[in-house]
Chains A and B, each alone.
Chain A
């Protein structure tokens, strides 16, 4: 039973480019969460989605960041016009109803 799959594991972008991070939840999970971990800091919640709906985006920066979880396919976290401060590890987690969240191994985003 495959766990939460994130790709790519490492992503390098130049300032001003777009970054797309993908997350395939565990089989049977319809809830997806994105978290960000800046260097030497703890994990911070960004957004919670449930199949085609954004449930909670209270941790998402207001500009340049967006997330989706389409009916078919993985969840996508999109960062437009990246800046140096976006360099971080981005973790995705998934869960089913009444079950704990399980995390992927993250995407390390580096901005040149």
Chain B
């Protein structure tokens, strides 16, 4: 699975959009981009995933660049409860198999 690079930390004002970047320059054509987050002391929570098209669900939007070498997770209106560590993971297919977690981005939403 391809390696990902994320900034270690970011701040965001409550009510504003949080844009979390992820670089995955060695991504292969059959690899998906997944986003999870882990709120302190809880289990990781699935957010969204995509292959090449932009995706949106009730939690977030995922924007993948045309060359697929980077992506951005967008939380449209961040709340204090969105403070968490966000993980960008690249893996083959949307099928089964282990997830490899990096260090992620610690997002701090401030009032």
Contacts and interface: CB of A to CB of B under 8 A. Distances in A.
Interface of A: 4, 31, 33, 35, 42-45, 48, 50, 55-56, 58-59, 89, 91, 93, 95, 97-106
Nearest to A102: B46
Contact of A45 (B41, B49, B99, B104): B99
Contacts, number: 55
Interface of B: 34, 38, 41-46, 49, 94-104
Where chain B touches its partner, the secondary structure class is loop
A42 B98 contact: no
Given A43-B44, A44-B101, A97-B96, 13 more contacts: A33-B98, A35-B99, A43-B99, A45-B100, A48-B98, A50-B96, A56-B98, A59-B98, A93-B44, A99-B94, A100-B34, A101-B46, A106-B43
A63 to B, nearest CB: 21
A95 B36 CA distance: 14
